[in-house]
Structure 1
């Protein structure tokens, strides 16, 4: 059955059939249009990649945009419950997109910003087969409250290479989340790299675009 998720798409710059698929997952209160311009930024490095940026499944509780799950910041368990509730819908979307493009997980990359980063990491680590790459921008890995890396490791089904990128002046998700997430992933056996964007808040600067684009190209076997 087709996934109910949908959003803007950009076909491969080369004009050929897609050889890779990059799925862009937006943050809380945004929608798929927020990230689809990354296709233009990375099209030169990934000329045979198709890009899709689905709208999250729920209207945002803030009254504008969309959300993968609600965030009240009053419940320490809401992120864990949220990624688990939203995960199956995103999984179904990925299955549908791969089938439609005749690709498998080795040709799939997940890129998420903020809440979308939480979703990319959660789902990417739990696919039956590893995806080519996961890029987490200005977000964090969601772990069950009060439990350590052994609990995260127990839920992992595959170990894709991960790049975490964060601004050192992030006012929404503090930069400490980058280091805590990197340590947690490494302790759980996940290969992780990270890049710190100096002077950057809760956003994506040119350095982040550069490092993430090169990371994706390498993981897809490019230069």
Structure 2
């Protein structure tokens, strides 16, 4: 199985009491999201951040991918998240063992294809994660099926925040509402934030809402 590597930011306080794993999108790599760690570190001074490079080189010749996308096969996302899940699971297990933490101190943050991976894996972990933030992505389920197919697969229910730009032309904003409906239908509580005028990216509003969500779920005292 592929061992993932990527950039890291150690906790400002010196000792990790939380772990935040950042999962990049299709055609990027771990360097694309590590700046989120710098933005959130004031809210999470005890958190260790890691942003692993996805396991495969992107077929289009740039960056990395969690799984290939041709956008021609309606089943490729479902096959892809299932194929990549064991590698991500093993990475999370290794990071928790290294830091001496458990899932109650772990948060996953995924952007675009990384959001697909975060949602797929977190719901199927044996133990509940502290938080999951999905940015500009979607929940992947088997083509043609609904919440009834998701519920039996769920092993733990983390708090979920979905964030999306209302002008996203890569993964349309409808994906946020569809994902929220699917999660709610499977009895997974979900919050969401819509970034007005934002395309396929992360704006200051998204950073702010996601940072507060992570700090609250990881038990940090918020600034007054």
With normalisation by structure 1, the TM-score equals: 0.98
| Counterpart for residue 193 of structure 1 | 191
Cα shift readout 1:48-106 (whole Å, capped 9, x = no counterpart): 00000000000001100000000000100000000000000000000000000000000
Within the candidate set 43, 46, 58, 1:45 is matched to: 43
Corresponding residue for residue 89 of structure 2: 91
RMSD: 0.9
Residue of structure 2 equivalent to 1:217? 215
Aligned residue in 2 for 1:69: 67
Distance 2:80 2:151 in 1: 19
In structure 2, C-alpha distance between the alignment counterparts of 1:142 and 1:136, rounded to whole Å: 12
**Corresponding residue of 1:119:** 117
Deviation of 1:197 (Å): 0.1
Number of the residue aligned with 1:80: 78
1:173 aligned to which of 171, 174, 185? 171
Deviation of 1:24 (Å): 0.2
Residue in structure 2 matched with residue 23 of structure 1 by the alignment: 21
The structure 1 residue matched to 2:158, chosen from 147, 160, 166, is 160
Cα deviation for residue 17 of structure 1 reads 1.0
Distance in 2 (CA, whole Å) between partners of 1:148 and 1:201 is 27
In 1, Cα distance between equivalents of 2:108 and 2:218: 12
What are the ranges of 5 or more consecutive residues in structure 2 without an aligned counterpart? none
Partners of 2:47 and 2:189 lie apart in 1 by 23
CA distance in 1, matches of 2:145, 2:37: 37
**Counterpart secondary structure, 2:215:** helix
- Counterpart for residue 10 of structure 2: 11
SS at match of 1:196: strand
Aligned pair partner of 2:143 in 142, 145, 152: 145
- State the secondary structure of the residue aligned to 1:37: helix
Return the offset for 1:13. Answer: 1.3
Deviation at 1:173, TM superposition (A): 0.3
Shift of 1:153: 0.7
